[in-house]
């Protein structure tokens, strides 16, 4: 059943992601220009090249959809998708841009061949809430079913993209007319609206028992988690830049991992991986070669 969202809740959701965006901007303003230049030069080297020679994988025709986060663009997942294609891991076949009215503009086409096809999803209104984006994801999956007869998909989301995917799963997963989600990867996603660890809990206790402090959005997940297909496989990725904040400069590690206990308690297969250091920063997680490796092993 489709959920409605009142204006007060919508404002709260937008406030959370504006806070996330502002938090990242403040961090970057503190980085000297010379350091930015050095980091940029390092990132342009081929140290992160991904090759199928390094992985045992099988190829199928099941498409993987990549969904960006708040204020995301084609660059958000563009480099990861390109690395996977250059390494013969998968092939970028389709870009779907969806406007604020839910209309889809397609670039490219699916071949239905065993290429591990990649589909990049772009929201024209890239600052809307996860409820609206969940509806757009539904529209996209309906489009893939109607045009290409797609029965199964994988979903990968960064930041808010992961939250929107989970919202889709609890709202529309039972619709028999839509493709089934086989695997779901969430990278640095704020499932508990940026709530950090409380003084009474540890990261281990949160992973095992869930968060002590729960946002309205988290409670919504709690109340509707049974709608998710128990056969789905989920991978949660979280980062800690090791600056004492216990997070990736935008999303607390506790927030990104907050959903694990809830999934396990509902017999949903979930794996998680924590990354540390400068390459575990929020926007660098999807540029991290170790994250590449984990996602490839999980998806393929």
Instruction: Spell out the SS3 assignment of 159-190.
Output: CHHHHHHHHHHHHHCCCCCCCEEEEEEEECCC
CA distance between the termini of the chain: 32
81-91 tens-digit pLDDT: 999 999 999 99
Residue 274 has pLDDT above 60, yes or no: yes
For the chain, the structural domain boundaries read: 7-44+59-194+203-299
| Whole-angstrom distance, CA of residue 168 vs CA of residue 185 | 14
34-60 tens-digit pLDDT: 333 333 334 344 444 565 555 566 899
Cβ(238)–Cβ(294) under 8 Å? Answer: no
pTM: 0.84
Q: According to the model, what pLDDT value does residue 19 have? A: 57
Give the distance from CA 84 to its chain's centroid: 17
Cβ(116)–Cβ(89) under 8 Å? Answer: yes
3 vs 230, higher pLDDT: 230
How far CA 232 is from CA of 206, 246, 276, in Å, comes to 22, 29, 27
C-alpha angle with apex 183: 51 to 174, nearest 5 degrees? 160
253-269 tens-digit pLDDT: 999 999 999 999 999 99
Mean pLDDT estimate for the chain:
88
Q: Counting every residue, how long is the chain?
A: 300
CATH of 7-44+59-194+203-299, one of 1.50.10.100, 3.40.50.1820, 3.40.50.880, 2.40.160.20: 3.40.50.1820
Q: According to the model, what pLDDT value does residue 56 have? A: 60
């Amino acid at each position: 059943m489709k959920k409605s969202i009142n204006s007060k809740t919508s404002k709260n959701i937008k406030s959370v992601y504006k806070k996330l965006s502002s938090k990242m901007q403040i961090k970057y303003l503190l980085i000297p220009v010379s350091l930015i230049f050095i980091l940029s030069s390092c990132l342009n080297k081929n140290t992160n090249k991904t090759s199928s020679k390094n992985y045992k994988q099988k190829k199928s025709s099941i498409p993987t959809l990549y969904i960006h986060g708040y204020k995301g663009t084609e660059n958000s997942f563009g480099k990861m998708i390109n690395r996977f294609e250059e390494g013969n891991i998968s092939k970028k076949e389709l870009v779907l841009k969806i406007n604020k009215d839910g209309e889809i503009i397609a670039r490219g086409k699916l071949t239905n061949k065993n290429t591990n096809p990649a589909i990049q999803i772009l929201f024209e209104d890239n600052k809307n809430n996860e409820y609206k984006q969940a509806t757009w994801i539904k529209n996209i999956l309906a489009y893939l079913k109607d045009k290409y007869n797609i029965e199964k998909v994988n979903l990968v989301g960064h930041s808010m993209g992961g939250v929107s995917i989970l919202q889709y799963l609890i709202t529309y997963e039972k619709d028999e007319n839509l493709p089934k989600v086989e695997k779901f990867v969430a990278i640095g996603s704020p499932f508990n609206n940026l709530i950090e660890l409380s003084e009474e809990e540890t990261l281990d206790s949160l992973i095992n028992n869930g968060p002590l402090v729960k946002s309205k959005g988290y409670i919504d997940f709690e109340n509707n988690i049974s709608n998710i297909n128990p056969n789905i496989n989920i991978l949660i990725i979280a980062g800690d830049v090791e600056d004492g904040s216990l997070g990736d400069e935008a999303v607390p590690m506790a927030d990104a991992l907050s959903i694990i206990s809830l999934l396990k308690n509902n017999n949903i297969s979930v794996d998680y991986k924590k990354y540390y250091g400068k390459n575990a920063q929020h926007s660098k997680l999807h540029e991290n070669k170790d994250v590449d490796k984990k996602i490839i092993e999980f998806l393929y």
